[in-house]
Structure 1
Amino acid sequence: MNDPNGILFTEGRWHLFFQYNPDSARHERICWGHVSSPDLLRWEEHPIALRPQEGGPDAAGCFSGVGALDDGVPTAIYSGVVGFDGRSEVVIARGSADAERWEQTGRVAARMPADPAITMVRDPFLFELGGRRWALQGSGLAGDRGALLLYAADDLDAWEEHGFLLTSDDEVAAQLPACEGWECPQLVRSGDDWVVLVSLWRDGRPHLGVGYIIGALDIDPASGLPAFRGRASGILDEGAAFYAPQAVQDEHGDRVLLWGWAQEVAEDGARARTQEDSDAQGWSGLLTFPRELQVRSDDVDLAPARELDALRAQEVDPAALPDQAEIRLSGDGLADLRLGDQVVWRGELGGDDVRILIDASIVEVHPRGRASVTLRAYPAEGEHYAVSAEPGVSATAWRLALPQE
């Protein structure tokens, strides 16, 4: 599995879809898997929502996209591909009221743009502004440049092209690492600010992470189109495993929830997992815990969703942690998280707090006021996670478990 997709809230449940190959641990014939939850804690798996349709615009895969309630109807808006040349079309599928059953008619809302300078297009995203519905797609331009294509999408089944909302030629966006294209664009509001997220794609090479651009978004009075003005940019998560997040306003509209894909990618020098290892295990890739996104000055912070506090069970010894655990660090000094004789994470605390979530092979580190770090580590038989810290650092840890109903 890879990218989180199609997140929507309907009939009292969060529905989370994701890129999924049910047949193997390899990235082939991608479908949309589907889970749902009433509380972001307990998740129920549902049948596969979308599958490649022979002869359809998604014959080679149902790639990333978003979910929406279109006149109350759960709707999937995604990239359909028939090959792997960077070309895609925006495909629409509609679901039942409970989002459990889906009908794929092959409806194409936006075709590949004709501009020869556009080298790839994928991953639609919807947003509302000025009483209208708009859409984005991530794209690449000749010369290793990223761009966001802009569309009017009042009629969800037939989009109108309107050029670009943003490109990496922009002064603020240009501060992000250069790449061959921007994938999985997200555009969400945090307080008075708007945040663009783009996954920095390189074909056949390790990705460069996820960039953010903080700015203002409004309707340009001359063109009547959305205009974005960035003021700051940076990297959302400093871990090599983190990529392709999806962000949504919560059901009340007052916070932003985000999930990311945790790839089978280890940091330099850490014990890694090969494709052959994944084949033997029978699975590859997972999603992060849900996070909350918030703008603080010119930075974007991620923190575990507040619902996750309910997972704390009994306190445990930080020097002998179970495979599902939370650690809170505070004070001044150096702290390590180890797995056997391997240092998984090391950080210097300067009076700030660090929150760490562990679920077997994923470690999510959230230093307050600094970028999060998503890491992969693979416990061998007999190994356990352990915290060691200098005297000025205090550590508290809990075993994670679902609360009793």
Structure 2
Amino acid sequence: MKKYNRICKNIIDTFRPKFHFATPFGWLNDPNGFSFFKGEWHLFYQHNPYSPRWGRMHWGHAKSKDLIKWEHLPIALSPDSPTDSFLGCFSGSAVVRDNKLHLIYTGVPFLKQHQLLATSDDGVNFTKLDKPVIDIANRPPRSRKFAFRDPKIIVTDNGYYMVIGASYKKGRQIALYRSDNLTDWTFVAPMLVEASKTKGIFECPDLIMTDNGDILIYSVMYTKTKGAEYQNMHSSVYLIGKSDLYKIRRRIKKNEVKEFSLFDSSDDDLVEKLEDYVPSNIVDLFEHYDSKEFEF
């Protein structure tokens, strides 16, 4: 057994990435909750600590002062409550508020998905709220109970906004929510809708807003091949434009996704999450677009 363990350790050390982040053991996928809290960078990720395969999701956790050397921390979120006990703690994001680190994520109890909140004073030990901040009854109109996930929070001068993937009838959408306090959320409108019949939904959306333009990034499940592009089953894509959340009207827009651009051609892309460097005076809704650009 000692010889076996020594051989395994040599193999693991030989093939472990020396520069890029890797979990110490188990399964790793979507990076979540990338944030800066009390002088350190925090990185969370979808994690199965019990197997090298996907399973009931946990949030792995590490921190760094320089984004190069990472210190592994205890698992931040485990599927240990009735609100997330079936398939676990799916993807989400992090926000610093009132000197606390808040994690908003999708919990998956049996046959439904809803949005949950956990908070921490020290950035290591997290306490879950005992009920969802967006329950299944408040999911986007025309969406299914088991297709509502991956909340990304955008901080603005007008409160907090959330972009989140969901189904839409037989198609899919990116929905927009708003809150003043991170616990009480109101559905605003669909940000993007693909109403035609599709497989899967839009996953892991992110909204990047700058003075030179705004970028909506998301993952398209079961992408159709187009020439040499979109060879992966799932692709990370983006739309570029400009818009204004303040002017949003409470009615569903029957926009069709006409054209988006490929973000990355690597194998089986599912997630592109970027840090919140968003100017606070800009808020966004993508309503009209043509090819790579659109206008409000």
TM-score, shorter chain, exceeding 0.5: yes
* CA apart distance, 1:222: 6.9
State whether structure 2 residue 147 is matched by structure 1 residue 147.
no
Aligned counterpart in structure 2 of residue 100 of structure 1, from 100, 121, 124 = 124
Aligned counterpart in structure 2 of residue 9 of structure 1, from 29, 36, 44 = 36
SS at match of 2:273: strand
* CA apart distance, 1:214: 0.9
Determine if contact 1:141/1:180 at 8 Å carries over to the other structure. no
Determine if contact 2:234/2:269 at 8 Å carries over to the other structure. no
* CA shift in 2, pair 1:189/1:142, >3 Å: same
State how 1:81-230 maps to structure 2 within 5 Å: 81-83=108-110, 85=111, 87-97=112-122, 99-112=123-136, 113=138, 117-119=142-144, 120-129=147-156, 131-143=158-170, 145-168=171-194, 179-202=199-222, 207-221=233-247, 223=249
Q: Distance in 2 between matches of 1:162 and 1:68?
A: 20
Q: Going by fraction, where is strand more abundant, 1 or 2?
A: 1
Larger radius of gyration: 1
Q: Distance in 1 between matches of 2:164 and 2:64?
A: 28
SS at match of 1:77: strand
Q: Distance in 1 between matches of 2:183 and 2:246?
A: 25
Query: What is aligned with 2:16?
Result: none
Determine if contact 1:214/1:231 at 8 Å carries over to the other structure. no
Unaligned runs of 5+ in 1: 255-297, 300-405
Q: Distance in 1 between matches of 2:154 and 2:269?
A: 24
Deviation per residue, 1:306-357 (Å, 9 max, x gap): xxxxxxxxxxxxxxxxxxxxxxxxxxxxxxxxxxxxxxxxxxxxxxxxxxxx
* CA shift in 2, pair 1:231/1:146, >3 Å: closer
* CA apart distance, 1:142: 2.9
Determine if contact 1:6/1:67 at 8 Å carries over to the other structure. yes
Q: Distance in 2 between matches of 1:190 and 1:221?
A: 18
RMSD: 3.1
SS at match of 1:107: coil
Aligned residues: 241
Q: Distance in 2 between matches of 1:122 and 1:218?
A: 24
Deviation per residue, 1:40-72 (Å, 9 max, x gap): 111110010110124x21112011000001222
TM-score, normalised via structure 1 length: 0.54
* CA apart distance, 1:211: 1.4
Q: Distance in 2 between matches of 1:231 and 1:72?
A: 42
Unaligned runs of 5+ in 2: 1-27, 224-231, 281-291
Q: Distance in 2 between matches of 1:133 and 1:239?
A: 32
Q: Distance in 2 between matches of 1:241 and 1:21?
A: 19
Q: Percent identity?
A: 26
Deviation per residue, 1:128-177 (Å, 9 max, x gap): 3452211121012233x2211111121211211223122125xxxx9xxx
TM-score, normalised via structure 2 length: 0.72
